[in-house]
Structure 1
Amino acid sequence: MALTATLRHFAVQLADMDRGVFADFELRVAQQPSETIEFMLVRVLAYSLEYTDGITLTEGVAATDEPAVLVRDLTGRVTAWIEVGAPDAERVHRGSKLAGRAAIYTHRDPRQLLTQYAGRKIHRSEDVPVYSFDREVLRQAAARLQRRSKLALSVTERQLYLDIDGHSLQTAIEECRTG
């Protein structure tokens, strides 16, 4: 018998002072059986931290030809390709060429990811940021997630303040570049 995805609901309040983005939205996320809770959480964080008109959350690990998060303009053209986890260099290269803007959010050690990309061809690699969070904070946050959770995210000076159902956590949003 095949395992099915776990449907999770998030009510998100976003206050991103760094970008001047303030929004309330709901997300329904299908957590695939092969997807860790930390990976799924970083998908939600990537969506929230990239939130803009035309943003779409894809099927995550089940999306073979798409990244975790896509942004399209009104014509349907892909304007941002946002990967989660540890995508291979070829995938990042393709996304950067297609969208003109690519980014990676990871729940893993970003140094290992950068080592994996060293010497590999990635379109405009110097413009592809890799964002990471304190892994212990991610673990604690993931442990607090329910099938229905309320998230309040505040971003100030690259600090993420995350409230999950009344429990507060804080982490820096670390940034490094693939090139």
Structure 2
Amino acid sequence: MAAGATIHTFDLTISDVDRGVYESVNLRAARHPSETEQFLVTRVLAYALEYVEGIAFSEGISTTKNEPAVLVRDATGSITVWIEIGAPDAERLHFGSKLADRTVVYTHRDPAKVAALWAGKKIHDGERIELRSFDPGFIDDVAGALGRRRELTVSLIESRVYVELDGQSFSSELHSQPAL
């Protein structure tokens, strides 16, 4: 964990009807001083929406390892899902797509502008990479309610995300498109 990181603890309840995933986990997320609240919220939502056995946050920018913000490892330790947040560069996506069976990007930014960054770039299996985003303002609204210790429920029903954060409710369509 990086010096100066702020720890956020979530009592997270996941109800992903679309995938049939129902879990309750105590999730600790270290927020580096250079990380925005929007990036943190997107990272936590990506964790919840991709939740499977073996999912974890990487060590982030406090390490020299070349890993995404969130990843899934199988029982052998191999990375099976590479999950980036924000607007990673094409080189990172190329690397992750070659390493993992599945690569997905969750962004809190305008997805058209994010995808434009990758246009014409060499990205392994770029057409298989998913770019996921939320309705404008959704991440900002959730970030505005963010605190260091929170009860968080994330539900996904027919591609609609419902978030309850300490009694405040938010919802958004989960938009998904090919990265290229």
Q: Tell me how far 1:61 sits from its aligned partner.
A: 4.2
Change over 3 Å in CA distance of 1:23–1:123 after alignment to 2: same
SS at match of 1:56: strand
- State, as a whole percentage, how many aligned pairs show the same letter: 47
Query: Gaps spanning 5+ residues in structure 1: where?
Result: none
- Map of 1:49 onto structure 2: 49
- Map of 2:5 onto structure 1: 5
- Map of 2:120 onto structure 1: 119
CA deviation string 1:61-112 (max 9, x = no partner): 4455110111111011110100001100010010010012100000111101
Distance 1:147 1:62 in 2: 20
Query: TM-score when scaled to structure 1?
Result: 0.95
Does structure 2 retain, via aligned residues, the 8 Å contact 1:130–1:176? yes
Query: Gaps spanning 5+ residues in structure 2: where?
Result: none
Give the letter aligned to residue 151 of structure 1: L
- Map of 2:170 onto structure 1: 169
SS at match of 1:145: coil
Distance 1:99 1:113 in 2: 21
Name the stretch that deviates more: 130-139 or 74-83: 130-139
CA deviation string 1:1-46 (max 9, x = no partner): x961111101100000000000000111110000000000100001
Residue pairs, 1:136-175, within 5 angstroms: 136-175=137-176
Does structure 2 retain, via aligned residues, the 8 Å contact 1:43–1:60? no
RMSD: 1.3
How many residue pairs get matched? 178
